[in-house]
Amino acid sequence: MILLDNENFLTPYIYDKMVKLKLKLKLKMKKPFYVLLSLIFINCSLEKDTTYIDKVQDPEFFQNAMQNLTDIVVYDIFSPPVASRVYLYPTIAAYELMALKYPKKYNSLVGQIKELNPIPIQSDNNINYHLASLYAFNAVGKALIFSEDKMDIFMEKFHSDLKELNVPRKVIRASEKYGAEVATYILEWASKDMYNQTRTYPKYTIKEEDQFWKPTPPDYMDGIEPHWKEIRTMVIDSSNQFPPKPPLPFDMKEGSPFQKQLIEVFEVTNQLSEEQINIAKFWDCNPYVTHHRGHAMFATKKITPGGHWIGITAIAARQSKSTFEETINAFSNVSIALFYVFISCWDEKWDTLIVRPETLINQFYDEEWLPLLQTPPFPEYTSGHSVISRAAAVILTDIFGDNFAFTDTTELLYGLPERRYTSFIHASEEAAISRMYGGIHYMMAIEEGVKQGNTVGTFIVDNLKTVNKDALPN
């Protein structure tokens, strides 16, 4: 019988069993019965070959891929703005494949974000779109990181998992090929966002006047990404579409509004409670904290501020039992928001060039004073944590609802305990005030940063429509 000899059609196990049965019966049985028995085995084979479909739709596959990307971002020490870019493009690649798979539920980002054209379409019936989205995510991620070997190790484990799930080789090959094609397409689009060009732009030249930002101890690092406002935006028209209120004028006279802001930082940090210290450390999110012991120096790697909110997104998706595609949708919205608010915030930072509290306190009040947290190497206004935390919280509230209580375990990997929040907004408020406790921001940067993040987040919620809510069941 032809079907019996077609080992590409049957699994090796079923094929072997049928051959043995054929020899045992020595072809003595009647043909109709033999055909019927063959069809039974074939049906079993087909059933065995399709059991993987539900399993590869497990959202943990995507959660694990995102966590792996975060681990590599931490290892490679990407700055907060650059890290937001590393999260953005892989997630969009995965999302566009899910939108293609579920066109009635999800809207493509084409026409909603700048310069993105439709991804290639393939007619190969062997493609599994969930697998293709994972392959695309990892392929784009690998192109944006330094430690490619770590991505290779993750992919080896991924292939091992697929083998254990009995995913047919033809499905793996077709899905990987399609994922790679989409990844190439997304990377070509990403290459036009001005990132490569800004790598060649000059460093910031320090201005001597007291009001302008200057590198701070212990490392006096160059300013990070002074040209980030040149990066292509997504949903927003330009980097300065939603500027915050101008900062207070620099004035060191006793009792001036600016001087009061500075003294507030000095006084608050000199009498921190244990809880305030815990809050500051929990939200530090400095990707590269240096430690000096005599002539020796070592560094501690931590998650970025955006990575922390990616972690909160993961927690929310798991807690709400989001499906594979719902999980990708949540990460996509948050990634897009984070990417833009960093552009918006950095535009303001490098436009106003506000000096950090540490510089002025050391210069005018106490040369031995140190903030609780290491001052980041870029200007002060507005507070990046305040901006990105509120924007992410607005996005997550829109997806998962108000009063979404959760336990934030994101920092456990970095030696910090979990914290409990009654909502995403609650978490964002704590993240914002943590910068005062840390001694690295004035209150004006925190308050206006929250407003800036809220404005941008609300605009994205109102204008980025990924879920076709009319198609969802009531």
Q: What is the pLDDT at residue 76?
A: 97
Q: Is 6 a residue whose pLDDT tops 50? A: no
Long-range own/partner contacts, residues 244-251 (CB < 8 A, 24 or more apart):
244/348, 244/381, 244/382, 244/448, 244/449, 244/451, 244/452, 245/448, 245/451, 246/352, 247/352, 247/354, 247/381, 247/444, 247/445, 247/448, 248/444, 250/210, 250/211, 250/354, 250/355
Place of tokens 């600016």: 258
Mean pLDDT of 255-268: 98
Max mean pLDDT among 20-29, 281-290, 343-352 falls in: 343-352
User: Is pLDDT of 23 > 90?
Assistant: no
Mean pLDDT of 370-378: 97
User: Tokens 């090929």 label which residue?
Assistant: 177
Q: What is the mean pLDDT of residues 341-351?
A: 98
Distance from C-alpha of 178 to C-alpha of 395, rounded to nearest angstrom? 30
- Could you tell me which residues are beta bridge partners of residue 301? 288
The fold for domain 203-471 equals Vanadium-containing Chloroperoxidase; domain 2 (1.10.606)
More confident residue, 387 or 472: 387
| Average pLDDT estimate for 201-221 | 96
pLDDT more than 70, % of the chain:
89
DSSP string covering 2-62, please?
TGGG-TTTS-HHHHHHHHHHHHHHTT-S-HHHHHHHHHHHHHHHHHHHHTHHHHTT-HHHH
pTM of the model: 0.89
| Mean pLDDT, rounded, for 15-36 | 49
What token pair was written down for 300? 């501690």
Give me the pLDDT at residue 469, please: 78
pLDDT value, residue 201: 97
Q: What pLDDT band is residue 296 in, cutting at 50, 70 and 90?
A: confident
Average pLDDT on 151-164 reads 96
More confident residue, 23 or 153: 153
Report whether pLDDT(5) > 50: no
Tell me the domain boundaries of the chain.
3-50, 54-196, 203-471
Task: Look at 100 and 299; give whichever has higher pLDDT.
Answer: 100
pLDDT attached to residue 37:
47
Residue 41 has pLDDT above 50, yes or no: no
Can you tell me the mean pLDDT for 100-124? 97
pLDDT at residue 27 is higher than 90: no
> Residue 471's pLDDT is what?
62
pLDDT of residue 32: 53
Distance between CA atoms of 341 and 337, rounded to whole angstroms?
A: 6
Q: pLDDT at position 196, please?
A: 98
